[in-house]
């Protein structure tokens, strides 16, 4: 299995531009998570899906952030418009079942908003 | 709300020395407990987890962790650190009795290994 695949690995954009981060979970996993990691705030859960349905989006910073999971094999996290304070590493993770199962993380997308 | 505290932001140990990384949680019941490691530029990898049974859990790469209910702790240990263990370590908790619940992570501890 190729693991959780995220793209792009790096993104550099100008303030105000739209940014779309992509994630392909491990086949057969029914839960998908988006995390953001910064030095100041550490690892924060933004949103998670179960069977393609958003369960908890309370971690999404503001309306500029949106996430979708149109099918079991693909999810996007979109920031529009982007701001410099959005600069961070964004991780996608997937899980096969219940809370006691482990999360499998992608390698992350390093986002820099200038 | 559940929370996870890793009191040590940065730890430096000499290669071959023993290691203990601290983790404390706050929750009304015993949650599921995890330790993850993140190498530079990589995603997180699970080291070990605890959800019931023996309170001393063995993981990969020679790591172990001990769950202490009375102290609400789940500290990670390794008897002899290798240079390749230099990384960031995250403790995480998951809610019991929920379907596809979320995991809450601590802020992480950065481990530096001196030669």
Q: How confident is the model at residue B93 (pLDDT cuts 50, 70, 90)?
A: confident
What pLDDT does A23 receive? 97
What order of strands is seen across the sheet that includes strand A65-71? A5-7, A19-24, A74-79, A65-71
Residue B43, pLDDT score: 76
- Chain B residues in contact with A105 by the CB 8 A cut-off are 36, 43-45
- pLDDT tier, B18 (very low <50, low <70, confident <90, very high otherwise): very high
Q: Distance between CA atoms of B25 and B2, rounded to whole angstroms? A: 7
List, for residues A52-62, the tens digit of each pLDDT value: 999 888 889 88
- Give A10-42 pLDDT, tens digit per residue: 888 899 999 999 999 999 998 999 999 877 777
Partner-chain contact A105 B45, CB within 8 Å: yes
B100 interfaces chain A, CB cutoff of 8 Å:
yes
Please report residues of B whose CB lies closer than 8 A to that of A100. 32, 49, 51, 94, 96
Could A43 and B108 be called an inter-chain contact, meaning their C-beta atoms sit closer than 8 Å?
yes
Q: What is the mean pLDDT of chain A?
A: 89
CB B112 within 8 A of CB B17: no
Q: What is the 3-state secondary structure (H, E, C) of B32-70?
A: EEEEEEECCCCCEEEEEEECCCCCEEECHHHCEEEEEHH
**Which range, of A41-45, B22-26, B86-90, averages the lowest pLDDT?**
A41-45
- Which of A3-7, A94-98, B7-11 is predicted with the least confidence, judged by mean pLDDT? A94-98
The stretch B21-25 carries a mean pLDDT of: 96
Residue B98 reports pLDDT greater than 60? no
Q: How many CB atoms lie within 10 A of CB A75?
A: 24
Instruction: Find out whether the peptide bond into B90 is cis, omega within 30 degrees of 0.
Output: no
Pairwise pLDDT comparison (B104 vs A17), residue with the higher score? A17
More confident position, A73 or A96: A73
Chain A residues whose CB is inside 8 A of the B105 CB are: 35, 42-43, 45
- Asked if A99 and B98 come within 8 Å (Cβ–Cβ), the reply is yes
Q: How confident is the model at residue A103 (pLDDT cuts 50, 70, 90)?
A: confident
- Please determine, for residue B103, whether its predicted confidence score (pLDDT) is greater than 80: no
CA distance A13 to A19: 8
Higher pLDDT pick, B97 / A16: A16
Comparing alpha-carbon positions, the chain A residue that sits nearest to B90 is: A43
Contact list in B for residue A45 (CB cut-off 8 A) is 102-105
Bridge-based pairing of strands B109-114 and B10-14 is parallel
Q: Which residues of B touch A55 (CB under 8 A)?
A: 100, 102
Q: Is the dihedral of CA B84, B85, B86, B92 positive or negative?
A: positive
CA-to-CA distance for A20 and A106, rounded, in angstroms? 16
pLDDT given for residue A34 in this prediction: 95
DSSP codes, A48-113? EEETTEEEE-TT--STTEEEEEEETTEEEEEESS--GGG-EEEEEEEESSSTTSPPEE---EEEEE
Say which of B90, B102, B107 has its CB closest to residue A48.
B102
């Amino acid at each position: 299995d190729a693991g959780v695949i995220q793209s792009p690995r790096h993104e550099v954009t100008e303030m105000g531009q739209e940014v779309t981060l992509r994630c392909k979970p491990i086949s057969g996993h029914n839960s998908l998570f988006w995390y953001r990691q910064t030095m100041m705030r550490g690892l924060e859960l933004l949103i998670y899906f179960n069977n393609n349905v958003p369960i908890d989006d309370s971690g999404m910073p503001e309306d500029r952030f949106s996430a979708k999971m149109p099918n079991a094999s693909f999810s996007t996290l979109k920031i529009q418009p982007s701001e410099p304070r959005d600069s961070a590493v964004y991780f996608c993770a997937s899980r096969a079942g219940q809370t006691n199962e482990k999360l499998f993380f992608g390698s992350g997308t390093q986002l820099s908003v200038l | 709300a559940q929370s996870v505290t890793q009191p040590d932001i940065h730890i430096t140990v000499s290669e071959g020395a023993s290691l203990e990384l601290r983790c404390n949680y706050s929750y009304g019941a015993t949650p599921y407990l995890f330790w993850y490691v993140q190498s530079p530029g990589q995603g997180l990898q699970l080291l070990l987890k605890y959800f019931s049974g023996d309170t001393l859990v063995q993981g990969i790469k020679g790591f172990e962790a001990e769950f202490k209910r009375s102290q609400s702790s789940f500290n990670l240990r390794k008897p002899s650190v290798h240079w390749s263990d230099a990384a960031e370590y995250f403790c995480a908790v998951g809610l019991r009795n929920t379907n596809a619940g979320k995991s809450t992570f601590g802020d992480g501890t950065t481990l530096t290994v001196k030669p």
